[in-house]
Amino acid sequence: MDLKILYFASLREALGRGEESLPLPEGVTTVGQLRAYLHARGDAWQALGEGRNVRAAVNQRMARSDDTLQGGEEVAFFPPVTGG
């Protein structure tokens, strides 16, 4: 089963897409590794770099970078929004 990846707010804006599906990439077993894999695409994907304020949720539950992925999950990446 493919991963369904969702991007929110300024991330969606920066990446020019709100979602994508892909098979669990080779060597990726955790949320942090998925983020690093996506970050390595370069250019706009720098927005997912380490230290950037982006949180991840797996199947609509907040996840930590060492939480494991098996494929088939819905992974959402989102930054905090601040405007009032």
Partner 1 sequence: MNDDQLLRYSRHILLPEIGVEGQEAILAARALIVGAGGLGSPAAMYLAAAGVGTLVLADDDTVDLTNLQRQILHSAEGVGRLKVESGRDTLHRLNPLARVETRALRLEGEALEAEVAAADVVLDCSDNFATRHAINRACAHHARPLVSGAAIRFDGQVSVFDLRQPDGACYHCLFPEGEDVEEVRCAVMGVFAPLTGIVGATQAAEALKLLSGCGATLDGRLLLLDSLSMNWRSVSFGRDPACPVCAERARAQA
Chain residues that interact with partner 1, rule: CB under 8 A: 6, 8-10, 12-13, 18, 51-53, 55, 57, 60-62, 76, 78-84
Q: How far is the CB of 80 from partner 1 (least distance, A)?
A: 4
Instruction: Identify the residue whose tokens are 């959402």.
Output: 76
Closest distance of CB 3 from partner 1, Å: 16
Distance from C-alpha of 68 to C-alpha of 30, rounded to nearest angstrom: 4
Distance of CA 58 to the CA centre of its chain: 9
Name the helix (H) or strand (E) containing 62: strand 61-63
Rounded least distance, CB 20 to partner 1, Å: 15
